[in-house]
Amino acid sequence: MQMVKKLLIILISIWIAIIVFMPKKELYYLLEHQIVKYNVELNEKTITDTLFGLDLNKVDVYMSGINLAQISNIKFITFLFYNKVNLNQLKIDNSLKSVVPLNIKDINITYSIVSPMQLDISADGDFGEVKGYLDINRTIHLDFIKVGNIKSLKKELKKNKNGWYYENRI
């Protein structure tokens, strides 16, 4: 029993050490380098390395050199088997108001080893509250839990017995 206890403590200590000493900023720069292939650039004011993640403040999102959005704060949290990205106060450029909502309070994207084939997504904004997923086949499905101002989105939404939802392949 003592041997199992020692082994478990060693494994947990190694796991925590890997997370704490992981080169989080370098992984973020690798992510930035990868999304440049899609003409997307992120310009952040500050990057803060935290114990279990990374915080980015005042992030501007550019696509093909055009400023499309500003994000007040992005938090990356990792525990290797459970990862989460939280985007706060997302403001979209006015030129896209007919396609997407202009103000989004929060977006949470979660990956867990429990469901390795999909990302869970939840968001809250002027449109209401949505929950959904992005699966490995690149299908996104978002259910509107609380409906707000969806006038600009209605042409993209479908309705069933449970309410409004959005589904598409990306």
pLDDT value of residue 91:
92
Four-residue CA torsion sign, 166, 110, 55, 61: negative
* Four-CA torsion 8, 12, 17, 19, nearest 10 degrees: 150
CB 72 within 8 A of CB 58: yes
Amino acid letter, residue 52: F
pLDDT value of residue 148:
84
pLDDT value of residue 150:
82
Residue 75 lies in a domain: yes
| Domain of residue 67, residue span | 24-169
Residue 63 lies in a domain: yes
- For residue 156, the Cα-to-chain-centroid distance in whole angstroms is 21
Domain count, the chain: 1
Q: 3-state class of 78 per DSSP?
A: strand
Residue 13 lies in a domain: no
Residue 10 lies in a domain: no
pLDDT value of residue 56:
95
Q: Provide CB contacts within 8 A for 27, sequence distance 6+.
A: none
Cβ-based neighbour number of residue 64 at 10 Å: 9
Residue 7 lies in a domain: no
Sheet holding 103-112, edge to edge: 40-49, 53-63, 66-78, 82-92, 103-112, 118-125, 128-135, 139-147, 163-169, 158-160
Residue 19 lies in a domain: no
pLDDT value of residue 156:
84
Show the low-confidence residues of the chain (pLDDT under 50).
Answer: none
Give pLDDT tens digits for 6-31: 999 999 999 989 988 999 999 999 99
Query: pTM for the full model?
Result: 0.87
Q: 3-state class of 52 per DSSP?
A: coil
pLDDT value of residue 54:
94
pLDDT value of residue 147:
86
CB 52 within 8 A of CB 77: yes
Q: Please, how many CA atoms are within 13 Å of residue 62, restricted to the half-sphere of its CB?
A: 11
Residue 3 lies in a domain: no
Amino acid letter, residue 104: I
Residue 47 lies in a domain: yes
DSSP code for 43:
E
pLDDT value of residue 124:
94
